[in-house]
Chains A and B, each alone.
Chain A
Amino acid sequence: MGQVIDINELRRGNKIDIDGEPYQVVSVDFRKPGKGTPSTSVKMKSMISGNVLERTYKSGEKLSGADIEEREMQYLYAEGDQLVFMDNATYEQAHVDAKHFEERGLLLDNAICQVLLHNGIPIGVTLPTWVEMEVIETEPGFKGDTANNVLKAAKCTTGVIVQVPIFINQGDMIRIDTRTGEYAERVTKTR
């Protein structure tokens, strides 16, 4: 269990448990109807589903802070729908449900990731911001076609498909931004 937070102390960014689910506070507003007692309206976002919840609390109510921990862990292998990560300091392992990944194709073997734990249970993984992968399949670009912002599809080692500029060839190493899933730059050219 996390610590107890008085509603009057609640601030944006705090993490609280609502019915066992961790929520991050998006906004806190002081409310006071005419001739009325003050209350606090809280808008919060589930850290698991992303759903937004709005609740109003009486002054003095207590909330339970969420026990959230972020740990650096290395990705080992997949086991069915479970992805296995390991803390390299303690050798502790964590099994993360693949549903927490929007794009598994950006997760490389042995990648060092940030695993988000709620009460010790993994609820999310933040990938390294940049990953480098080889393009294994793409249409050749045509000389003379130099207009900017023209993109084409490229398939990378893990099978993920990324939109890349036309000058990228099969065999090139490219860098991808995992926050957006978009191509960032070419690392090395194919020989």
Chain B
Amino acid sequence: MPVEWIDAHPEGHWLLCGRVLDRPFPETILLADGAHRIQVNGPCTTDLEPGDLVRLRAIVDHDPKDLYLPPDRAFPVYLAFESQSLHRPTRSPFARGSETWRLAQDGVRPLLALRHHASDQVRAYFRAQRFLEVDTPAIVTCPGLDVHLSAFGVLGHMQATASGLPTPYGFLITSPEFHLKRLLVGGVNRCFQLARCFRAGEVGRQHQPEFTMLEWYRAWAGLDDVLADTEHLVRAVSDAGPTPGVVRLGDREIPLGGEFAQVTVREAFARWAPDVVDPVALAADDEAEYFRRFSQDVEPALGFDQPTFLTHFPSVHASLARRCDDDPSVCLRAELYIAGVELCNAFDELTDPGEQRDRFQEDQRRRAALGLPVYPLDEDFLRALEEGMPPAAGNALGFDRLVALVAGRDAIDDVIAFPHGGGP
């Protein structure tokens, strides 16, 4: 509910426009803009009702410095001498839990502003690093074969076919990875995208079926380089938030100033789930149990003293990352955790077309065995690898999660204007 201040009129009064949020006293109304309430007094406000869209002429009644409020909450109180209700809603905009109630009362607007500033910070960082911001297709024929990702299908022409059903056309991307890597092959050495990604069936505090991924790739660079990018980006976005240099979640404070810690998956299990003798073996033998212990014991402990990169994941979950040369049971993959929240997934990228094809085929076999849809191989991507992808590292960072953390929120739907519901 934006309240618009129109500049002081030549005759010394103000034009105030907005929505009446509440009427605490007979001659007082509150106007709202999501973050602040503006109090307006005066007999001409008596006929206004909560929900009305109004235009008022007013003079400043009390200066904020008279009100003993903290500076960020101090707003002048106005005395209105003329009011006009432009629209009286035919249904209450403030039904509890309704969309307008949430946007107006819940303070969503400052969070949307934070999102905007966060993306400005991201773009400024990558511009300084001479990256190219790119767009890639959202509809693809191969959405990625990760066994535990489920893609949304896209229907083609809606006109009736012989069967009466539209022809399937493709899938929505679960990540822009394949196309961004094809750009590397084409000579775009540094690129990034703030990409809308789609994953079916994922709704939770840190999950939405539709979310924004910040994904970037550096050719001729390694994992350490993109982890350094990640540190810079987290700090830069934090600078746009309410607590620069710190993530404040509940009563926990995580400083972002120092160097981020690194811990391997084996070290993390040894510390927080010591009864698991060899997590890398467990990941291969009983994947569901490995991830249950990971979610229950390891993940909630990560990144509370300082942001922490978890590294050296089991190679069965290497996906598109290279395996370690000195220990092929683990791979060159890293995830950043802050306050138990996984923020990103970085790879030292696999560039070997033969090994990549083998891994895709293995994923296809596993999908078939689990009764999941088996998406086709992305031959365009494999062709690009055969033509030669430069050594590179890349990272995919959950932009909504980062904004939520920086805002001190533990659920990403707080920083999304229109989140999908349907969660437990």
Query: Which residues of A come within 8 Å of B, CB atoms?
Result: 10-12, 28-41, 54-59
Tell me if B108 counts as interface (CB < 8 A to partner A): no
Residue of B nearest to A57 (CB): B292
With a cutoff of 8 Å between Cβ atoms, the chain A residues found around residue B342 in the complex are 33-34
Query: Which residues of B come within 8 Å of A, CB atoms?
Result: 146, 148, 201-207, 287-289, 291-292, 294-296, 299, 313, 317, 319, 335, 342, 345, 423-424
Whether A31 lies near B204 (C-beta < 8 A) is yes
Query: Which residue in B205, B287, B335, B423 is a CB contact (below 8 Å) of A34?
Result: B335
With a cutoff of 8 Å between Cβ atoms, the chain A residues found around residue B319 in the complex are 35
Whether A33 lies near B294 (C-beta < 8 A) is yes
Whether A29 lies near B148 (C-beta < 8 A) is no
B367 to chain A, nearest CB (A): 13
Query: Which residue in A10, A12, A29, A36 is a CB contact (below 8 Å) of B317?
Result: A36
B343 to chain A, nearest CB (A): 10
Residue of A nearest to B287 (CB): A37
Whether B204 lies near A29 (C-beta < 8 A) is yes
Whether B294 lies near A36 (C-beta < 8 A) is yes
B34 to chain A, nearest CB (A): 27
A12 to chain B, nearest CB (A): 7
* For the complex of A and B, 7 pairs with smallest distance between CB atoms: A30-B204, A56-B296, A28-B424, A36-B291, A35-B317, A31-B295, A34-B345
With a cutoff of 8 Å between Cβ atoms, the chain B residues found around residue A12 in the complex are 424
Instruction: Please report the C-alpha to C-alpha distance between residue A2 and residue B104 in the assembled complex, in whole angstroms.
Output: 43
Main secondary structure of the interface of B (DSSP, over half): mixed
Whether B294 lies near A30 (C-beta < 8 A) is no
Whether A33 lies near B299 (C-beta < 8 A) is yes
Q: How many pairs of residues, A versus B, come closer than 8 Å at their CB atoms? A: 68
Given A30-B207, A31-B295, A55-B296, are A37 and B148 neighbors across the interface (CB < 8 Å)?
yes
With a cutoff of 8 Å between Cβ atoms, the chain A residues found around residue B292 in the complex are 39, 56-58
Whether B288 lies near A59 (C-beta < 8 A) is yes
Instruction: Please report the C-alpha to C-alpha distance between residue A28 and residue B424 in the assembled complex, in whole angstroms.
Output: 6
Whether B424 lies near A10 (C-beta < 8 A) is yes
Instruction: Please report the C-alpha to C-alpha distance between residue A38 and residue B146 in the assembled complex, in whole angstroms.
Output: 13
With a cutoff of 8 Å between Cβ atoms, the chain B residues found around residue A37 in the complex are 148, 287-288, 291
Whether A32 lies near B202 (C-beta < 8 A) is yes
List, sorted by A's number, 9 A–B pairs whose CB atoms are closer than 8 Å.
Answer: A31-B299, A33-B291, A37-B148, A37-B288, A39-B291, A39-B295, A41-B296, A56-B296, A59-B288
Instruction: Please report the C-alpha to C-alpha distance between residue A10 and residue B287 in the assembled complex, in whole angstroms.
Output: 23
With a cutoff of 8 Å between Cβ atoms, the chain A residues found around residue B207 in the complex are 30, 32
Instruction: Please report the C-alpha to C-alpha distance between residue A64 and residue B346 in the assembled complex, in whole angstroms.
Output: 40
Residue of A nearest to B203 (CB): A30
A29 to chain B, nearest CB (A): 5
Instruction: Please report the C-alpha to C-alpha distance between residue A32 and residue B146 in the assembled complex, in whole angstroms.
Output: 13
With a cutoff of 8 Å between Cβ atoms, the chain B residues found around residue A59 in the complex are 288
Instruction: Please report the C-alpha to C-alpha distance between residue A38 and residue B150 in the assembled complex, in whole angstroms.
Output: 11
Residue of B nearest to A28 (CB): B424
With a cutoff of 8 Å between Cβ atoms, the chain A residues found around residue B206 in the complex are 31
With a cutoff of 8 Å between Cβ atoms, the chain A residues found around residue B146 in the complex are 35
With a cutoff of 8 Å between Cβ atoms, the chain A residues found around residue B289 in the complex are 58
Instruction: Please report the C-alpha to C-alpha distance between residue A57 and residue B293 in the assembled complex, in whole angstroms.
Output: 9
With a cutoff of 8 Å between Cβ atoms, the chain A residues found around residue B288 in the complex are 37, 39, 58-59
With a cutoff of 8 Å between Cβ atoms, the chain B residues found around residue A33 in the complex are 291, 294-295, 299, 342
With a cutoff of 8 Å between Cβ atoms, the chain B residues found around residue A57 in the complex are 292
Instruction: Please report the C-alpha to C-alpha distance between residue A11 and residue B424 in the assembled complex, in whole angstroms.
Output: 6
B314 to chain A, nearest CB (A): 10
Whether B202 lies near A30 (C-beta < 8 A) is yes
A35 to chain B, nearest CB (A): 4
Residue of B nearest to A31 (CB): B295
With a cutoff of 8 Å between Cβ atoms, the chain A residues found around residue B296 in the complex are 39, 41, 54-56
